[in-house]
Structure 1
Amino acid sequence: MHIEWSTFFIQIIAFLILYVLLSKFAFGPLFGMMEKRRQLVKDQIQTAEASRKQADQLLEEQKQALQQTRKEAYDIIEQAKHTGSKQADDIIHAASAEANRLKDEALKDIENEKNKAVAALRSQVGAMSVLIASKIIEKQIDEKSQEELVEHYLKEVGGNV
């Protein structure tokens, strides 16, 4: 095999001219577009990473807010239970005090009525005693009829009371 040096040099010169033309008109813009594309993909990856971090942060904030809301709801329920229990105790205490007051008033009323009844009975017994004494004086009877008369008037007094 024989190499033609003149053809070889012409081919190398043609190749170099083609390479220079391609570098100037094709490779430069092609590499520029490739660099722009690489930068665009890099920016999109960075944006996606930032969005993911922001989403993770928002998710954590929402979890904390939900946990705080649950705690507040639990505190409100506990406070309502405590308030309800206190109100129930207050109502029971007030009812007990009212019942004691009514009981004391009833006992006072009973005592007053008893005193009135005793006073009325004393008044009637006094009137009957005077009546018996006047009848005894009028009749001037013996001892046996006097006892019968006293028993008779005592029965009347007992029937009126």
Structure 2
Amino acid sequence: MHFSWESLVLALIAFLILYFLLNRYAFGPLFSVMEQRRQLVQKQLSEAAETREQAVAYVEEQKQALQTARQEAYDIIEQSRQTGNKQADQILTQAKSEAERLKDEALREIESEKNKAVAALRSELGTASVQIASKLIQKEIKDDKSQEELVDQYLKEVGGRS
């Protein structure tokens, strides 16, 4: 194998010229494009991370809003239940007082009717007693002496009752 210095120098000069040309016209734009691509990817990654953080924050916000809505719904249901219970109690109280009022009114009316019936019965009984007594007196009292005794006896009875 034979080694030639001239070919080595020529190859070295050709390599340096090629390296200079590639560096100037190929590697520069290629590295620039690769740097732009790296920046774009970096930007997209940071945007994706930011979007992910926003999504997580939004999900947490939605969870909180859902929990608040559930609590409000529970409060509304509980308030409705309490209002319903209060209204039921009021209705029962009103119904009881109305029933008591109607009962008292019926008792007063019954007492009044009873008193009227007793008064009517007494009146009729008194009238009947007077008629019976007058008929008996007419039959039994034929003389003045018997009539006077009967009047005295009646006055004593009336005087004793008073």
CA deviation map 1:69-96 (0-9, x unaligned): 1111111111111111111111111110
TM-score (normalizing by structure 2): 0.82
Question: Match of 1:3, SS?
Answer: coil
Q: Shift of residue 133 of structure 1? A: 2.4
Match of 2:60 in 1: 60
Match of 1:86 in 2: 86
**2:18 maps to amino acid:** L
Name stretches of at least 5 consecutive residues in structure 2 with no aligned partner: 142-162
**2:85 maps to amino acid:** S
**Aligned equivalents of 1:130 and 1:14: distance in 2?**
167
**Aligned equivalents of 1:55 and 1:105: distance in 2?**
73
Match of 2:32 in 1: 32
Match of 2:158 in 1: none
Alignment of 1:79-158 (within 5 A): 79-140=79-140
Q: Larger relative contact order (C-alpha < 8 A, sep ≥ 6)? A: 1
- Compare 2-11 and 20-29 and name the one that shifted more: 2-11
Q: Shift of residue 111 of structure 1? A: 0.7
CA deviation map 1:70-126 (0-9, x unaligned): 111111111111111111111111110110011011011111111111111121122
**Aligned equivalents of 1:98 and 1:11: distance in 2?**
123
TM-score (normalizing by structure 1): 0.82
Match of 2:77 in 1: 77
Match of 1:46 in 2: 46
Residue correspondences, number: 141
Question: Match of 2:3, SS?
Answer: coil
Q: Shift of residue 2 of structure 1? A: 4.6
Match of 1:21 in 2: 21
**Aligned equivalents of 1:59 and 1:7: distance in 2?**
71
**Aligned equivalents of 1:67 and 1:133: distance in 2?**
96
- Compare 127-136 and 18-27 and name the one that shifted more: 127-136
